[in-house]
């Protein structure tokens, strides 16, 4: 173990600036000195360290459970959202609008990021999970749209398209007036 | 609590933004021109000039029943009294003496005396007649001087002559009734102070009845003294009487009073005229004038000074010469002659001369008031015309606004815009043209800087369209036959054209049609005027360029038939001219310009309807049986409209736009509008079985002749003013029983669904009758004329424009008289509708003429501008008033008091502040890093 002024050392190697460095492994020019030293007892440099973790059947189950949790999340959120929507009322003001906006944006974003979300979970049930997740998000979007509808924000009435209607063309033309003579 | 509410209410009402005009905005968007009408009596007020100098005031009475005093310096009205329309207000004679203007009005005969200086009424004396005056079937002549008034009333075979000599009580001196077989209400007679003198063309005699023969007692029938026309040196011009029913046929020989002399009369036959002097014994002698004229219509004034001088105005084309002829000397007084020239080739109708002592040398100088046949009033002195008033503008019959052309530098841009191309193509085109416009502007700027004295100040400013197309040219056709082009922003006359041979059509109309607008460069714009010939009553069509007034094409065309109907088609021909269809009285159809390709007319299913005047029927005719060679009308339908005569047919304005196809209900469903472009409102008036007034209002589809809806109002009388636009009708009337003016509002809807959203056909299958919503409102005022505002795309809400009988022009929002205003508070409400209230509340801020009073409004003209929020309004009648209105406020424009400096300053300041703080922040960050 060597303890030295590493500022001198850093000047030569270009390592990050450190006032004091403790070098446990040795290196640099001193390596040759350390090579000469015998290994400590019980240390076998040729031995390969192999630490393969064996997955237990419990943790496998845990992953599947976790994945299902994720997939069922949107559907579980529906009752709470329903309650929230009910509480916010049907008047058009900033909070219901913000809520509806969030409610519409979040599932959409989630839908686009479906693959990324499930990339860490692999398994035989992936397709099923994804489908569930999709359905859940769609349900959320549907809920948001229903709210929009009840707020009157959806252009579903004839009056919403009235401004785009062209005036009717004239088929017959009429002229004349009060007799001038 | 109530007090608090009241306080709150007051606070709110104070805080509301005012939509009216501020005091400093008076005259900024509007102008007014006061008129008096066509002058028929005038006299200089000599009392104001102490030392016998020129008169400072001129008293005039007009055919519009206006008594006014004009300033002789500049022709401005010092005061005027607008007397009632009809016989009550007709001014029969005028006499100005000692600072008092004394007038005698027609029926009942009233002698009224006004102070010339202040215009106050000094006294009013009723002249009591012992017979029942029936001014409808008679002709009244009045002659009066300072001490007596003579009234003659001519009916068939009888003349009633009454002399009043006590002007304080109005008591009669004598009254005589004379029966003669030749006397009729059309007799040409003149009253002098000594006699009643008549001329009868069929007898060839001048007949004179001296008052000295009448005496105090009514014994035997007094005799007329007759003089043959030959002895006077006149011959009766024989007129071919082929147009016997032409109401306005010219009278072969006329007799007129002479201004300034109570003993002279002017007799005119055809082109020649002569002055007659009437002796107290009834003898009639023609005055021998040296320069007596033939070939020029002349008007004479005799001034009774030391020597009587006859002034005669002769006109030769545009030059007019007023010459004085001394009776005592028998020679022409060259020093007292005046010469001047006028703009229009019109004859002189009236001449009033004042002689006065010139201040410097004491010489006799002459000033003359000359009234021309085009109603223009000139005051002439030896230097020339001192001032000119165009009084034809007091009898406007038709108005049309014409867009001004775009400056030549940017013509190319709009020239090609009409071509239809794709979006991308038009974008590229637009960018290129804008670029070229920028280049030309830069070039102009460079040129200006190189030669600063580029434009001479003398040249009149060229008329070009402004940025928002608010600057327009108003084409005005008047009853005298004079057409004007008027700058709408200043009220200045740009051009005028007098057509001496025309007169209004029998229904008192002149028709103006814009056949081609300025949008079709290089073709000049074209306008056409439809009128009637003065002598033959046949049709006249005058084609002209509305920007200059110059005739184009054939110019003035005299048609060989009488016009029954004229209207312009909606389609262009190859030359971008909308053809004019003229129907003669025998239902022949003629197209103008005459070379028009009939293919323009024929592919459209056009129906022509004619409502005959004073009848109960309207007939519809179809053009469908026309061939390529000739147009032919076939009767299609005929509809009867009880209870009496048809008073008016009110169609929508051609090209009336409807922006929204329906109305949104409270439940967000749509109630579609019934926008039948062929719908008309027919108003018929008559009496019911107990002789009460009855008014029938019909909504008629003019293509099929079907009555869509009708209402009958009992005990309702006119005048009825109808406004018809989009899918609504508003009309005003007087309710006899309730004794108030009322307004009735109708709105038509197709229902919650549309049968055909893309095209409207009046003949399409079995149609559902439209839903008609109606409501009546009480008007706190009477209405003289009405119109509605027109904007370019009809997005802006429409306002009713009502000329009130109190003299104001009111702008009434349409929602205020909406027939869908809910009766009770319950139920969901439609947007913008408040609960029904029977009274139409009119705040004084809605009077667009603010404190100006406009008497005798005959019409309101509205035209769109380039700004959707803005509509121009031109009110005509005795006065002319122009203004701009903003029915939905100025939503597309900054207020004119917008503080550009403040906003620009704030913006620049913010930018500067942002830059500076950024720099500072950067410095601070750097400094912080070095720390």
pLDDT digits (tens, 9 = 90+) for B40-67: 889 888 876 656 678 889 999 999 999 9
Q: Which of B567, B605, B658 sits opposite A167 (nearest CB)?
A: B658
Answer yes or no: is pLDDT of B283 > 90: no
- Best of B607, B633, B682, B753 to disrupt the A interface (most A CBs within 10 Å) is B607
pLDDT digits (tens, 9 = 90+) for B140-171: 788 777 788 888 888 888 888 888 887 888 78
Whole-number pLDDT of residue B325 = 79
Looking at chain B from residue 744 to 783, which residues have their Cβ under 8 Å from any Cβ of chain A?
756-764
Looking at chain A from residue 129 to 158, which residues have their Cβ under 8 Å from any Cβ of chain B?
152, 157-158
Answer yes or no: is pLDDT of B222 > 60: yes
In sequence order, which ranges of B203-304 are alpha helices (DSSP H)? 229-232
Q: Mean pLDDT of all residues in chain B? A: 83
Query: Mean pLDDT throughout B612-636?
Result: 81
Beta sheet of B284-286, edge-to-edge order: B253-258, B261-269, B272-278, B284-286
Per-residue CA distances from B717 to B693, B711, B743, B848 (Å): 6, 14, 12, 28
B500 vs B906, residue with greater confidence: B906
Chain A partners within 8 Å of B585 (Cβ)? 181
Whether A159 sits inside 8 A of B505 (CB atoms) is no
Q: Which of A169, A171, A178 sits opposite B605 (nearest CB)?
A: A171
Does A19 touch chain B if contact means CB atoms closer than 8 Å? no
- Interface A:B, Cβ pairs < 8 A: 130
Query: Mean pLDDT throughout B371-378?
Result: 90
A8 and A89: one domain? no
Whole-number pLDDT of residue B48 = 66
Q: Which of A158, A172, A177 sits opposite B670 (nearest CB)?
A: A158
Q: Which pLDDT band holds residue B452 (cuts at 50, 70, 90)? A: low
Whole-number pLDDT of residue B405 = 87
Does A177 touch chain B if contact means CB atoms closer than 8 Å? yes
Q: Which pLDDT band holds residue B244 (cuts at 50, 70, 90)? A: low
Please state the domain count of chain A: 2
User: By 3-state DSSP, what share of chain A in percent is helix, strand and coil, each rounded to 5?
Assistant: 60, 10, 35
Whether residue A165 is contained in a domain is answered as no
Whether residue A171 is contained in a domain is answered as no
B552-567 core/surface letters (b: 16 or more CB in 10 A; e: else) = bbeebbebeebbbbbb
Q: Which of B606, B664, B758 sits opposite A159 (nearest CB)?
A: B664
pLDDT digits (tens, 9 = 90+) for A58-79: 777 888 888 888 888 888 888 9
Q: Which of B562, B610, B677 sits opposite A170 (nearest CB)?
A: B677
Domain that holds residue A99: 57-154
Beta sheet of B857-864, edge-to-edge order: B31-33, B880-885, B871-877, B857-864
Query: Mean pLDDT throughout B539-554?
Result: 91
Answer yes or no: is pLDDT of B419 > 60: no
Chain B partners within 8 Å of A158 (Cβ)? 662, 669-670
A67 and A141: one domain? yes
Answer yes or no: is pLDDT of A124 > 90: no
Q: Which pLDDT band holds residue B15 (cuts at 50, 70, 90)? A: very low
Chain A partners within 8 Å of B726 (Cβ)? none
Helix (H), strand (E) counts: chain A: 6, 4
Does B570 touch chain A if contact means CB atoms closer than 8 Å? yes
Whether residue B764 is contained in a domain is answered as no
Strands B39-45 and B332-341: unpaired
A77 and A122: one domain? yes
Whole-number pLDDT of residue B346 = 80
Q: How many CB atoms lie within 10 A of CB A91?
A: 8
Whether B661 sits inside 8 A of A159 (CB atoms) is no
Per-residue CA distances from B109 to A157, B125, B343, B675, B854 (Å): 70, 9, 39, 53, 27
Answer yes or no: is pLDDT of B102 > 60: yes
pLDDT digits (tens, 9 = 90+) for A12-61: 444 555 567 666 655 555 555 556 788 888 887 777 666 555 556 777 78
Whether B658 sits inside 8 A of A179 (CB atoms) is no
Q: What is the Cα–Cα distance from B703 to B605, expressed in whole angstroms? A: 9
Do B541 and B561 touch, CB atoms closer than 8 A? no
The percentage of chain B sitting over the pLDDT mark of 90, rounded to a whole number, equals 32
Q: CA of A173: which chain B residue's CA is closest?
A: B606
Query: Mean pLDDT throughout B809-830?
Result: 83
Query: Mean pLDDT throughout B14-30?
Result: 69
**Tokens representing residue B138 in the block:** 């008679």
Q: What is the Cα–Cα distance from B172 to B165, expressed in whole angstroms? A: 7
A75 and A32: one domain? no
Answer yes or no: is pLDDT of B380 > 50: yes
Whole-number pLDDT of residue B457 = 45
Whole-number pLDDT of residue B98 = 83
Q: Which pLDDT band holds residue B854 (cuts at 50, 70, 90)? A: very high
pLDDT digits (tens, 9 = 90+) for B891-912: 888 877 789 999 999 999 999 9
Whether B608 sits inside 8 A of A166 (CB atoms) is no
Whether residue B916 is contained in a domain is answered as yes
Whole-number pLDDT of residue B811 = 93
User: By 3-state DSSP, what share of chain B in percent is helix, strand and coil, each rounded to 5?
Assistant: 10, 45, 45
Instruction: For residue B694, give how far its alpha carbon lies from the nearest alpha carbon of chain A (Å).
Output: 21
A15 and A69: one domain? no
Q: Residue for token digits 């704030």?
A: B906
Please state the domain count of chain B: 1
User: Any idea which of B357-361, B747-751, B820-824 has the lowest mean pLDDT?
Assistant: B357-361
Whole-number pLDDT of residue A8 = 43
Highest mean pLDDT range out of B198-212, B586-600, B744-758, B763-777?
A: B744-758
Instruction: For residue B606, give how far its alpha carbon lies from the nearest alpha carbon of chain A (Å).
Output: 5
Q: What is the Cα–Cα distance from B541 to B533, expressed in whole angstroms? A: 10
Does A159 touch chain B if contact means CB atoms closer than 8 Å? yes
- Best of B592, B604, B610 to disrupt the A interface (most A CBs within 10 Å) is B610
Q: What's CA B523's distance to the chain center, in Å?
A: 30
Per-residue CA distances from B776 to B240, B652, B806 (Å): 55, 21, 22
Whether residue A159 is contained in a domain is answered as no
Among candidate residues B816, B791, B792, the one with its CA nearest the CA of residue B802: B816
Q: For chain A, how big is the Rg over CA atoms in Å?
A: 36
Whether residue A52 is contained in a domain is answered as no
Chain B partners within 8 Å of A178 (Cβ)? 507, 611, 613, 646, 648-649
Answer yes or no: is pLDDT of B296 > 80: no
A132 and A71: one domain? yes
Q: CA of A155: which chain B residue's CA is closest?
A: B668
Answer yes or no: is pLDDT of B540 > 90: yes
Do B96 and B72 touch, CB atoms closer than 8 A? no
Answer yes or no: is pLDDT of B514 > 90: yes
Do B703 and A172 touch, CB atoms closer than 8 A? yes
Chain A partners within 8 Å of B613 (Cβ)? 178-179, 181
pLDDT digits (tens, 9 = 90+) for B679-733: 999 999 999 888 889 999 999 998 888 899 999 999 998 889 999 998 999 999 9
B68 vs B621, residue with greater confidence: B68
Q: What is the Cα–Cα distance from B183 to B180, expressed in whole angstroms? A: 6
Whether residue B918 is contained in a domain is answered as yes
Looking at chain B from residue 519 to 538, which residues have their Cβ under 8 Å from any Cβ of chain A?
530
Q: Which pLDDT band holds residue B3 (cuts at 50, 70, 90)? A: low
A61 and A21: one domain? no
Does A166 touch chain B if contact means CB atoms closer than 8 Å? yes
Whole-number pLDDT of residue B522 = 81
Whole-number pLDDT of residue B720 = 94
Whether residue B124 is contained in a domain is answered as no
Domain that holds residue B930: 899-931
Answer yes or no: is pLDDT of B458 > 60: no
Q: What is the Cα–Cα distance from B744 to B157, expressed in whole angstroms? A: 49
Quote the ipTM score: 0.74
Query: Mean pLDDT throughout B349-364?
Result: 81
Does A164 touch chain B if contact means CB atoms closer than 8 Å? no
Do B135 and B157 touch, CB atoms closer than 8 A? no
Cis geometry, peptide bond prior to residue B719 (ω within 30 degrees of 0):
yes
Backbone angles phi, psi at A65, to 5 degrees: -65, -45
Whole-number pLDDT of residue A37 = 80
Answer yes or no: is pLDDT of B528 > 80: yes
A66 and A133: one domain? yes
Q: Residue for token digits 């008293």?
A: B59
Q: What is the Cα–Cα distance from A111 to A122, expressed in whole angstroms? A: 18
Whether residue A176 is contained in a domain is answered as no
Whether residue A178 is contained in a domain is answered as no
Whether A181 sits inside 8 A of B610 (CB atoms) is no
Whole-number pLDDT of residue B353 = 85
Answer yes or no: is pLDDT of B657 > 90: no
Query: Mean pLDDT throughout B368-385?
Result: 89
Answer yes or no: is pLDDT of B230 > 60: yes
Whole-number pLDDT of residue B604 = 66
Chain B partners within 8 Å of A150 (Cβ)? none
Chain A partners within 8 Å of B530 (Cβ)? 180
Whether residue B911 is contained in a domain is answered as yes
Does B638 touch chain A if contact means CB atoms closer than 8 Å? no
Whether B758 sits inside 8 A of A169 (CB atoms) is yes
**Tokens representing residue B856 in the block:** 């005798």
Chain B partners within 8 Å of A176 (Cβ)? 565, 567, 583, 608-611, 702
Q: What's CA B252's distance to the chain center, in Å?
A: 30
């Amino acid at each position: 173990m060597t303890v030295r002024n590493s500022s001198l050392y850093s000047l030569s190697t270009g390592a990050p600036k450190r006032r004091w460095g403790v070098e446990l492994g040795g290196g640099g020019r001193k390596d040759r000195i350390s090579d000469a030293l015998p290994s400590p007892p019980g240390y076998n440099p040729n031995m390969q360290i192999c630490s393969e973790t064996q997955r237990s059947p419990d943790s496998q189950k845990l992953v599947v459970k976790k994945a299902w949790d994720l997939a069922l999340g949107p559907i579980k959120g529906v009752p709470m959202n329903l309650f929230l929507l009910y509480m916010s009322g049907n008047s058009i003001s900033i909070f219901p609008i913000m809520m509806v906006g969030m409610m519409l944006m979040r599932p959409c974003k989630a839908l686009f990021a479906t693959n990324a979300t499930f990339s860490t979970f692999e398994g035989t049930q992936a397709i099923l999970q994804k489908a569930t997740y999709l359905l859940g998000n769609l349900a959320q979007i549907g809920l948001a749209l229903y709210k929009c509808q009840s707020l009157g924000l959806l252009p579903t009435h004839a009056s919403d398209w009235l401004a785009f209607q062209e005036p009717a063309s004239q088929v017959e033309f009429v002229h004349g007036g009060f007799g001038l003579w | 609590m109530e007090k608090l509410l009241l306080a709150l209410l007051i606070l709110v009402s104070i805080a509301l933004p005012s939509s009216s005009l501020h005091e400093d905005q008076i005259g900024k968007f509007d102008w007014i021109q006061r008129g008096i009408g066509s002058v028929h009596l005038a006299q200089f007020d000599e009392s104001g000039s102490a030392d016998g100098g020129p008169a400072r005031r001129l008293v005039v009475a007009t055919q519009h029943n206006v008594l006014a005093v004009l300033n002789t310096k500049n022709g401005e009205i010092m005061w005027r009294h607008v007397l009632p329309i009809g016989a009550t207000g007709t001014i029969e004679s005028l006499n100005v003496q000692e600072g008092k203007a004394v007038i005698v009005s027609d029926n009942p005969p009233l002698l009224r005396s006004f102070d010339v200086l202040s215009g106050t009424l000094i006294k009013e004396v009723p002249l009591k007649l012992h017979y029942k005056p029936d001014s409808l079937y008679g002709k009244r002549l009045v002659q009066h001087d300072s001490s007596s008034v003579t009234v003659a009333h001519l009916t068939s075979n009888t003349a009633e002559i009454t002399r009043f000599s006590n002007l304080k009580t109005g008591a009669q001196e004598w009254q005589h009734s004379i029966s003669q077989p030749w006397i009729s209400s059309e007799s040409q007679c003149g009253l002098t102070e000594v006699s009643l003198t008549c001329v009868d063309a069929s007898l060839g005699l001048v007949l004179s009845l001296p008052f000295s023969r009448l005496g105090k007692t009514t014994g035997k029938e007094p005799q007329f003294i007759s003089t043959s026309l030959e002895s006077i040196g006149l011959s009766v011009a024989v007129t071919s009487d082929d147009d016997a029913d032409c109401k306005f046929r010219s009278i072969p020989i006329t007799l007129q009073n002479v201004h300034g002399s109570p003993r002279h009369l002017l007799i005119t036959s055809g082109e020649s005229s002569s002055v007659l002097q009437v002796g107290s014994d009834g003898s009639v002698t023609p005055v021998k004038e040296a320069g007596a004229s033939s070939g020029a219509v002349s008007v004479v004034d005799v001034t009774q000074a030391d020597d009587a001088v006859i002034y005669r105005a002769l006109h030769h084309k545009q030059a007019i010469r007023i010459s004085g002829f001394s009776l005592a000397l028998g020679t022409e007084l060259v020093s007292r002659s005046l010469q001047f020239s006028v703009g229009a080739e019109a004859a002189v109708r009236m001449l009033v001369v004042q002689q006065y002592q010139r201040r410097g040398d004491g010489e006799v100088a002459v000033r003359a008031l000359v009234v021309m046949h085009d109603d223009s009033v000139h005051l002439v002195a030896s230097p020339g015309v001192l001032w000119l008033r165009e009084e034809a503008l007091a009898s406007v019959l038709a108005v049309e606004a014409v867009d001004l052309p775009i400056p030549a530098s940017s013509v190319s841009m709009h020239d090609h815009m009409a071509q239809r191309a794709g979006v991308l193509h038009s974008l590229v085109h637009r960018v290129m043209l804008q670029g070229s416009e920028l280049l030309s502007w830069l070039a102009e700027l460079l040129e200006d800087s190189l030669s600063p004295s580029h434009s001479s100040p003398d040249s009149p400013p060229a008329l070009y369209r402004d940025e928002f197309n608010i600057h327009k040219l108003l084409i005005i056709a008047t009853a005298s036959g004079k057409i004007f082009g008027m700058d709408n922003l200043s009220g200045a006359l740009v051009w005028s054209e007098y057509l001496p041979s025309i007169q209004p059509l029998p229904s008192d109309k002149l028709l103006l049609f814009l056949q081609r607008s300025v949008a079709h460069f290089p073709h000049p714009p074209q306008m056409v005027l439809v009128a009637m010939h003065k002598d033959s009553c046949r049709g006249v069509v005058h084609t002209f360029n509305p920007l200059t007034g110059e005739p184009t094409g054939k110019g003035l065309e005299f048609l060989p038939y009488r016009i029954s109907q004229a209207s312009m088609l909606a389609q262009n021909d190859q030359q971008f001219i909308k053809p004019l269809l003229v129907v003669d009285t025998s239902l022949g159809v003629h197209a103008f310009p005459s070379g028009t390709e009939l293919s323009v007319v024929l592919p459209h299913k056009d129906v022509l309807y004619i409502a005959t005047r004073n009848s109960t029927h309207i007939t519809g005719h179809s053009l469908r049986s026309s061939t390529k060679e000739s147009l032919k009308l076939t009767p299609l339908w005929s509809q009867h409209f009880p209870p009496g005569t048809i008073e008016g047919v009110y169609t929508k304005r051609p090209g009336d736009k409807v922006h929204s196809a329906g109305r949104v209900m409270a439940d967000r469903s749509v109630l579609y509008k019934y926008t039948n472009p062929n719908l008309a409102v027919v108003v018929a008036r008559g009496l019911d079985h107990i002789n009460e007034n009855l008014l029938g209002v019909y909504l008629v589809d003019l293509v099929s002749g079907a009555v869509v809806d009708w209402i009958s109002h009992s005990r309702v009388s006119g005048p009825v003013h109808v406004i018809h636009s989009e899918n609504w009708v508003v009309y005003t009337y007087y309710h006899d029983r309730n004794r108030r003016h009322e307004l009735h509002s109708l709105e038509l809807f197709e229902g919650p669904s549309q049968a055909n959203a893309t095209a409207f056909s009046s003949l399409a299958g079995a149609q559902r009758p439209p839903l008609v919503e109606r409501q009546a409102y009480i008007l706190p005022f009477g209405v003289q004329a009405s119109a509605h505002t027109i904007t370019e795309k009809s997005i802006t809400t429409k306002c009713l424009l009502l000329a009130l009988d109190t003299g104001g022009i009111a702008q009434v929002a349409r929602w205020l008289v909406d027939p869908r205003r809910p009766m009770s508070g319950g139920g969901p409400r439609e947007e913008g509708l408040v609960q029904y209230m029977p009274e139409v509340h009119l705040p004084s801020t809605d009077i667009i003429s603010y404190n100006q009073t406009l008497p005798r409004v005959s019409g309101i003209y509205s035209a769109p501008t380039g700004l959707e929020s803005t509509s121009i309004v031109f009110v005509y009648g005795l006065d002319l008033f122009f203004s701009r209105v903003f029915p939905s406020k100025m939503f597309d424009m900054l207020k004119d008091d917008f503080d550009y400096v403040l906003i620009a300053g704030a913006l620049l300041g913010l930018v500067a502040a942002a830059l500076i703080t950024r720099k500072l922040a950067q410095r601070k960050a750097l400094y912080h890093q070095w720390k």
